[in-house]
Amino acid sequence: MDEIDLVHMRKNYERTELHEDEVCSDPLEQLRGWLDDAVRADVAEPNAMCVSTCVHDRPSSRMVLLRRLDSSGLVFFTSYFSRKGRELQENPHAAALFYWPQLERQVRVEGPVHQISEDESDAYFAGRPRGHQIGAWASEQSETVENRELLDQRVHDYEERFEGEEVPRPHSWGGYAIAPERIEFWQGRPNRMHDRLEFVRAHGIWSIQRLQP
């Protein structure tokens, strides 16, 4: 197999520009606008974001799906006992990253994290596809398992357990909200001279500054 030439693998970004007078004063509204742009551009899973946690000075990252964006922040759902759930329990702060290559854009978000209410988690869980609901019961997320067959058997067992009735939300599963304190909008530009506009919140007020690429 031929070796991949990583050294010369690059793209020059020339799609558009990003100016201070073109962004919303509320960065959450700006993020919503960019999400809308990604949807219209037919980006695969435009709401996918990489969430990073950190405990004992050791960061870890994984892809999740943004399920709600409002004044409470960026909401996603997972098992409270998963690795990210355990790490958020120990250090309730996270960073999230969106990347939309077709638009030559990325957004970085940082802030504290809190669990959303049980009622909100119940409402979201009730609207999930039934197979996803069963999966939340069958998988002890992030724990080791001997083989795939055991997972498939657990799915079968829970399908039988809940046959003919609604699947309730496991108490070990629910939503988290990242409350942004810092949001950076990145627009690719030629020759790596990218546009970077960063919003920082202090005392409930957002300020904006341009960062060098």
Burial per residue of 116-131, b for 16 or more beta-carbon CB atoms within 10 angstroms, e otherwise:
beeebbeebbeeeeee
Paired with 93 in beta bridges are 112
Paired with 32 in beta bridges are none
Q: Which of 124, 122, 60, 54 is nearest to 90 (CA)?
A: 54
Helix, strand, coil percentages, rounded to 5, for the chain: 30, 35, 35
Catalytic residues: 192
Helices (H) and strands (E) in the chain, counts: 5, 10
Rounded to whole angstroms, the Cα distance separating 197 from 107 reads 10
Residue 145 C-alpha from the chain's centroid: 26
**Cα four-point dihedral sign 126, 69, 119, 64:** positive
